[in-house]
Chain A
Amino acid sequence: MSAARTPSPQTVAVLQAFLKAPGEWRYGYDISRETGLKSGTLYPVLIRLADEKFLEATWEASEPGKPPRHLYRLTFDGRQFARQHAPRRTGRRARYQAVGEAKS
């Protein structure tokens, strides 16, 4: 997904979810709950965004014996890309619209 290619509705929904708190690290499951996207759809989007350097990932240390959790955050280029292709929506109605568009 280059900067010239229009992102899919699912990618737009993910970008909008990240834009709500652009500097914050987010868990994949939180993004899934917010966008309504299942893991099979969400993670390819996250991987593509990370490959394009729009998203950065890190591991969160967890309890001993449990694997660490992955955290994601928009990069500077990612924020610019998100603002260009996924204008931030506010309010409950906007969130439902984003989820509905992502599901359709």
Chain B
Amino acid sequence: MLRELDFVETDWEGLVWVLGSAGVLLRYSIQDSVRAVVCKGVGLWQQQSPQRMLGKAAELTIGLLVSAGVLFGCVYGLRSLAPLLFPGWHLENRAWAQCLAVVFIPEAIFASGAVVLWWRRRVMAKGILLGALTLLTHFVVYFTTHG
């Protein structure tokens, strides 16, 4: 690409040629690097087409969003439904109920969902497991710092 520069007639054309060539080189090197990182991260082969990769990335994102939705549902259940269903228990203020609703129940749902989806929608299952891992990490960090 840049070898052509020896044959470009004017300096201005040469500058335009170099800038265009540099842009192309940058674009394709970034594209290849991102593809390599994403493929390695979700266990995909690098020869996949961009459309298929986008589909897999969308599936991974859906898995993450599902895990976030489950977590939100469990927290909402504790904060809003528990006082209605068990009015005298004050579950929303009890530490064990909070741990159950925020950590153990969602993690159990994530694990079961990942197992169910593993053979049919593996990338989505990986997205759910990624959400589970994030929550677990947050839980461990929280309890080690707050006791």
Residues of A within 8 A of B (CB): 27-29, 32, 38-44, 47, 62, 66-70
Within the assembled complex, what's the spacing in Å between the Cα atoms of A68 and B6? 11
The answer to whether A44 touches B24 (Cβ under 8 A) is yes
Chain B, 5-45, contact with A by CB distance < 8 Å: what is the 0/1 string?
Answer: 01110000000111111011001100000000000000000
| Listed A/B pairs (5) with beta-carbon separation below 8 Å | A27-B7, A47-B24, A66-B3, A67-B2, A67-B3
Q: A39 — which chain B residues lie within 8 A by C-beta? A: 1, 4, 16-18, 20-21, 24
Q: Are B21 and A40 in contact (CB under 8 A)?
A: yes
Distance of A38 Cα from B23 Cα, bound (Å) = 11
Find out whether the CB atom of A70 lies under 8 angstroms from the CB atom of B3: yes
Closest 6 CB pairs of A and B: A40-B20, A39-B20, A29-B4, A43-B24, A39-B21, A69-B3
Q: Tell me the nearest residue of chain B to A40, going by C-beta.
A: B20
Given contacts A38-B16, A39-B17, A69 and B24 within 8 Å (CB-CB)? no
Given A43-B1, A47-B28 in contact, is the A29-B23 Cβ separation under 8 Å?
no
* Residues of chain B within 8 A of A43, CB atoms compared: 1, 20-21, 24
Query: Contacts A47-B28, A66-B6 given: A28-B20 contact, CB under 8 Å?
Result: no
**Are A62 and B3 in touch, CB under 8 angstroms?**
yes
In the assembled complex, the Cα of A14 lies from the Cα of B16 at a distance in Å of: 19
Interface core residue of B1, B2, B6 (most chain A CB under 10 Å): B1
Interface of chain B residues 68 through 109 with chain A (CB within 8 A): none
Query: Contact between B4 and A27 (Cβ–Cβ < 8 Å)?
Result: yes
Of B4, B20, B27, which is within 8 A of A69 by CB?
Answer: B4
The answer to whether residues A40 and B8 also contact, given A67-B3, A70-B1 and a CB cut-off of 8 A, is: no
Q: Are B3 and A68 in contact (CB under 8 A)?
A: yes
Q: Are A38 and B28 in contact (CB under 8 A)?
A: no
Q: Is the CB of B23 within 8 A of A28?
A: no
